[in-house]
């Protein structure tokens, strides 16, 4: 598979091709807050634990809501909730189909959040691996800017997205998309404010802020839709 110069530089910046090809699982802890949670009547995440499969859309998030014992799980296009014993207590096939008009304009339940938070995090955190996926079409618009076209089989914000990387370091600076399940008008910019390094030396985006994208394509200063802190980041 032939990759663009920007993609190659980004993969190298985040550990290299071999690391991501051989990795199976990613574990992290996150905290997240912001207007997007408030509008959907959702509690913020406080050091929630996530386990993600690097090479397929699979992600778990504990706790997904107010109960510390409930885990929200994304597997492909489906979501489910499990209790501490691993028993399925609720599930929803083709979860995206449920985000229509109705009560989801006013609040999300645990299954709704399990879909949104898990697919978004899986896309964000496995980005180096995403750059190597053949079913995603990557196009270099200009040095540092990549446009991605996602297939229907991958749960994601919108089918067309753009990523801006630092031309020198290869690190991600900005990720633009439309959060379609919220609204076709929900154009957002996910800006990386800070990178960190884990105990093995792996560099990863550690602080992100999502705000509306302005009419000229630049992120607005507010409101802050989501503020995301990644507290640790381990590949296995």
Where residue 71 sits, what CATH number does that domain have? 2.50.20.10
pLDDT in tens, 48-96: 999 999 999 999 999 999 999 999 999 999 999 999 999 999 999 999 9
177 close to 192: Cβ distance less than 8 angstroms = no
- Which 3 state secondary structure label does DSSP give 49? strand
- Cis before 223 (ω within 30): yes
What are the C-alpha distances in Å from 204 to residues 126, 133, 176, 198?
10, 19, 18, 8
From 50-64, 93-107, 146-160, the region with the lowest mean pLDDT? 93-107
- Rg of the chain over all Cα atoms, to the nearest angstrom: 17
Domain containing 168 equals 5-235
Structural domain tally of the chain?
1
DSSP 98: G
| Predicted pLDDT at 217 | 83
What are the C-alpha distances in Å from 184 to residues 11, 160, 179, 193?
31, 12, 7, 26
Predicted confidence (pLDDT) at residue 1 exceeds the cutoff of 70: no
| Predicted pLDDT at 100 | 79
pLDDT in tens, 191-222: 999 999 999 999 999 999 999 999 888 999 99
Q: What is the average pLDDT value for the chain, to the nearest integer?
A: 96
Mean pLDDT of 95-121: 93
The whole model's pTM is what? Answer: 0.97
Q: In b/e form, how buried is each residue of 174-193, taking b as 16+ CB within 10 angstroms? A: bbbbbbebbeeebbbbbbbe
| Predicted pLDDT at 215 | 85
């Amino acid at each position: 598979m032939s990759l663009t110069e920007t993609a190659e530089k980004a993969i190298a910046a985040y550990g290299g091709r071999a690391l991501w090809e051989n990795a199976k699982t990613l574990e992290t802890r996150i905290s997240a807050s912001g207007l997007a949670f408030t509008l959907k009547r959702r509690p913020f995440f406080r050091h929630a634990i996530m386990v993600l499969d690097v090479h397929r859309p699979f992600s778990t998030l504990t706790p997904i809501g107010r109960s510390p014992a409930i885990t929200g799980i994304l597997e492909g296009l489906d979501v489910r909730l499990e209790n501490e014993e691993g028993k399925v207590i609720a599930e929803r096939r083709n979860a995206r189909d449920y985000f229509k008009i109705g009560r989801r304009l006013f609040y999300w339940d645990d299954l709704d959040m399990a879909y949104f938070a898990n697919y978004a995090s899986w896309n964000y955190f496995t980005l180096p691996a995403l750059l190597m996926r053949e079913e995603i079409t990557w196009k270099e618009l200009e040095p540092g800017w990549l446009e991605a076209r996602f297939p229907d089989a991958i749960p994601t914000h919108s089918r067309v997205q753009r990523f801006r990387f630092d031309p020198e370091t290869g690190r991600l600076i900005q990720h633009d998309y439309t959060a379609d399940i919220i609204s076709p008008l929900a154009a957002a910019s996910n800006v990386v404010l800070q990178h960190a390094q884990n105990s093995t030396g792996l560099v990863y985006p550690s602080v992100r802020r999502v705000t509306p994208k302005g009419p000229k394509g630049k992120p607005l200063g507010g409101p802050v839709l989501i503020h995301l802190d990644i507290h640790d980041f381990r590949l296995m």
